[in-house]
Structure 1
Amino acid sequence: MLQKKLYNTLFILILGFYNAQSLKIRILDSENSEPIPHARIILSNTVLYSNDDGFILLPETSKNLEISASGYQTEKFANYNAIIKLKPLYKDIDEVKIINVDIKKILSDVLKNYEKRYYDQPSIYDIVYRQKNSDDDNLSFLLITNGKIWMESNTYNYKDALNKRFDNFIQMEIDSVKYFKSTISEDDICKGQSLNRSKDFVGNIFFNYELARVNYYFKTKNAKFSGRIINDSNDEQTIVYKISNPEIDVTGTIVYQKIDKTIIHYELQYDQAKYPSYKVKTKNGSEYEFKVGNGVTYYDFYKKDGKYVPSISGTKGYSYCTYDGNKQKNSFSREIIFQKFSETQAIGLERKIDLTKRIWENIPKQEKQNNSILLSQEEQKFIDEKSYQE
């Protein structure tokens, strides 16, 4: 009990320190006062998102804020408020007037016209990269960095990717490591299995890659799908949909801009229970059983100077690893916040990292804390705990 009190006191002190440097607000659900993660605020030249506890740090001069979050009404505030509550778009989906829509037509059309409707010229973004991993629901890995991403056309290039020539269409730079901690040993069999390199890592950054993947589900044999408009206001429609085929079941939500025919918010939940488990061998010959779990991908876009540019790209999910009769759940989340967008004539970055390697293999393995990044309580507790290496 004493330890818990000391930790709570420490967390309050930390928040007080943050508040002294900038404005700290918290975004809550107006119905149940629960924190809203991934609530977005767009300032004149910076995009900010709330953390897992609903907190956002703002520059002291911030005013005339517009706050949006998936499933909530967008709100505008002229002045600073420490607590901001957003109203849900709907309380009970069963009470909403349902309008059926051809979701296949919408998603196929956006993919077909992707380069016409989203920004398709060379660009550079100031980014925040965040990755977390948990083993049996205990945080075991945290990496938060600031950096840059250069994109040749904001579009995934399948030909170059197939030959691992990622540098031709995307480059990433790490400017500073804000937090980096791992309690995972290279000798662990199951712990940290979700850290393994994924062939989809680069692809998941790009929305057209995700659109191509979900459009494939429509084309599989015996595929069934449905879409429903659950909110239609101004020029935007909130649409929920389902796709089911012999391989996978997915449920999603999009916010569709009717005039420009773009998707400005996308979230898809993958139910991968139909995928069988399979055997995997480690470098030293040990064998374990791997079973993929469910996952989520999500993207946001906003209109700047007449162009739609990304503000976030993320994926999270879990898997199961069974070794020597013991089953372990491994969870992961990776996201990139595109904080600042700028057009460029440059053909790359000077200090690009190697995207064929895992991100942390490109950076010095040391923790460099900086108060410009606001951690959640879970993250702060993990950073404060001693690891087995210490």
Structure 2
Amino acid sequence: MAKTASKQKILNAASVKQLAYEHGFDVCGLADARATWDAEARLRAFVAAGYHGSMGWMEATLDRRSHPTAMWEGAKTAIMLGVNYGPNSNPLDRLARTEQANISVYAGGDDYHDVIKKKLKAFAGLLHRQSGAEVKVFVDTAPLMEKPLAARAGVGWQGKHTNLVSTDFGSWLFLGCILIAEELTPDQASSDHCGSCTACLDICPTKAFPSPYQLDARRCISYLTIEHAGPIPVEFRAAMGNRIYGCDDCLAACPWNKFAQSARETKLQVREALTDQRLTDLARLDDTGFRALFAKSPVKRIGVARFLRNVAIGLGNSQHPDAVPAAQHLSHHDSALVRGAAIWALKQLMSPEDFSALAENSMAYEPDASVRAEWEQPL
């Protein structure tokens, strides 16, 4: 009898939320994991349109991703948790400093997957010990649609940029989920407060939104700089500016950010070492230096070649005199991916006469056909 009473005391919505705050989460909401929803139809339409680009894992996991119970049949409640990662300043201000690297706010600190998963495991373990209910944790690394679940749990709503928006934290929330085999009283789903605003759509440098609430990832700078493994399509290179890892434009433009707060989790705050990195310095990184600079950072996951590809594009957009030697350095890199991007950069930075002379001397020694094609692109 005592055990049952203890269980009832711990596993109710109010006590679960209190425990969530004690474990370092900034927001917590509950949703019925078994209820029907329209997120599956939207996901299937997204994939059918090809908007997922080269992210083949989205298509491969489509059925498992379609509903929480497709991930785990025993799930009864989704405990949706958010951690604020609000920046101390407006990320859009960094776009004017073209000689400096612009790294997305979310990647300025430690990898949020690691930080949040540690919190989730500790919290979920406590829930299991106190209730005996089976639990599973998720933080953007398994085929679970966290954003629709968070909207259903009252954490926020999916804005026109498709990301979650909160009345308390704006667009700056990392999401985690604990699925639990226990019925808990669900929260009321969030309503949409975007109204007629289109700020997030209007600011997108590559026009990646075919319509409100739809994203074509193939045009998104975050996708291009992080997920896309090949050369950046020429049509998007100038629009990248100095964004070398991710893009915050649509998030930063949201008017609801007026209520946003700076992150209180120190591990998610932007590291001082990454706030004023010059593109010319980053261009000199080798693999060892890259791994050291971005230790524990999500940036490290894309590898040095993809990173230097992005840096080269940034150099080309900087129009800074010091960028030419740095781009020339990258044009001799072992990776054809990096060399190709560096050639494009040199084309933006040099006079047509100087570039033509450089191309004439360099093409004869270039072994990769795709890189030779970069040299031969019209000025």
TM-score, L = length of structure 2: 0.22
Task: Specify which structure has the higher proportion of helix.
Answer: 2
**Between Structure 1 and Structure 2, whose CA radius of gyration is higher?**
2
Task: Specify which structure has the higher proportion of strand.
Answer: 1
